[in-house]
Amino acid sequence: MDFKRISVVGLGYIGLPTAAVFASRGIEVVGVDVNQQAVDTINRGEIHIVEPDLDIVVKSVVSMGKLRATTKPEAAQAFLIAVPTPFIFNKEQGDDHEPDLSYIEKAANAIAPVLEKGNLVILESTSPVGATEQMAAWLAAARPDLTFPQQAGEQADIQVAHCPERVLPGHVLRELVSNDRVIGGMTPNCSAKAVALYKTFVMGECVMTNARTAEMAKLTENSFRDVNIAFANELSMICDKLKINVWELIKLANRHPRVNILNPGPGVGGHCIAVDPWFIVNSCPNEAKLIHQARLVNDFKPHYVIEKITSAADQFKKPVIACLGLAFKADIDDLRESPALDIVKHLAEQGVGRILAVEPNIQQLPTALASAGVELATLEQALEQANVVVVLVDHKQFKSCDKSLFLSKVMIDTRGIV
């Protein structure tokens, strides 16, 4: 297929870079998002997220007329769905973490009226196994005048596929182009057409499979990482109890030629690793025992850190706690599923002391923190006023600062930068 116009639904941390890269290859891209502010920002040639070099690319393609944003879908040859896929956690029902596919359903219903015979629809959102088939079913229900793969197989009017992103925040533009892509169509013809689309910019290999295997591949990748992080986090708590420096221990253990232990942290965050393993657990609870236990370990780690901070604050009549970092990883502004954010919120709600949050990548605090009394401070202000300092994210600003400034403080370093 010769793609001249495509639509990207969801202009967040994945959708906007993807739209910008397609547009940079000369394809007309219509971006769709429910956030009017984000739409207006993009149409000015600006961006509403932090991602290195993305502002340059967006400004260029918008000025050339290759990318524009809107709140209402328009006709296109291909539609890429890149909307959130969180889970629903009902404490009364235990930790089943039911996948929330409502964003995908809304996106499907939004594009359905403008679908035309020959169109390609790709689900990029990381999803539980079977989500692509469910999306196709929603589309079929909305457009009974068209045929879909589950009805007509290779002869379907609309081709449907799943192609999960697998990029690292902070390196998205480079990895979108260089990384291999797993592309799973509902039929081989769906896969082939999706490969043709991605090959307009992907320099890595486009590997074809079926939709269910593609969905499971992304979940498997992030579950593998989650299990390995859980080992490191559990090791850090064991070392804390045994009074062993976990950072030194890991460096020594990693001298073994076949050992590569990851570094521990205050938990696991982000929209993928903290969420995706639950999709596997939810689908096969009796079989996913190791994956489930890893999730429990990583979900417990923030509570362990909170206990450490509370104990340190009890040493002072008027504790002032500087929390360094709110993002889920270093040098980005993404706060989704961030253990650092949850830790700071819990400290404020428990009234442990005066809480100063240092996050160099944001301009204002999330409403939940501001309303709880958390103050946004610079690193200099926080180190001057605090008697307890907690390193939650290893931002470059924290790693490069003068470490002697920490000497007079009670330190809790969850990232090993001090």
How many whole angstroms separate alpha carbon 263 and alpha carbon 246? 9
Which residues neighbour 128 within 8 Å (Cβ) at sequence distance 6 or greater? 85, 99, 101, 215, 219, 279, 280, 282, 283
**Across-strand partners of 98?**
88
272 is catalytic: yes
Active site residue 190: no
- Our separate counts of H helices and E strands in the chain read 16, 15
Catalytic residue among 66, 218, 301, 329: 218
What distances in angstroms separate CA 56 from CA 42, 80, 197, 332, one per listed residue?
A: 12, 22, 23, 17
Report residue 348: phi and psi, to 5°. Answer: -65, -45
Task: Give the pairing type, strands 206-210 and 320-324.
Answer: unpaired
Give how far Cα 337 sits from Cα of 273, 274, 299, Å: 9, 7, 11
Tally the residues of the chain.
Answer: 418
Of 206, 272, 323, 329, catalytic? 272
- What does the DSSP assignment read for 318-382? S-EEEEE--SSSTT----TT-HHHHHHHHHHHTT-SEEEEE-TT-SS--HHHHHTT-EE--HHHH
Distance between CA atoms of residues 401 and 277, nearest Å: 36
Give CA–CA dist 53/351, Å, rounded. 40
Backbone angles phi, psi at 98, to 5 degrees: -65, 125
Q: Are 7 and 80 in contact (CB under 8 A)?
A: yes
Q: Distance from CA of residue 180 to its chain's centroid?
A: 18
Residues with catalytic roles: 218, 272
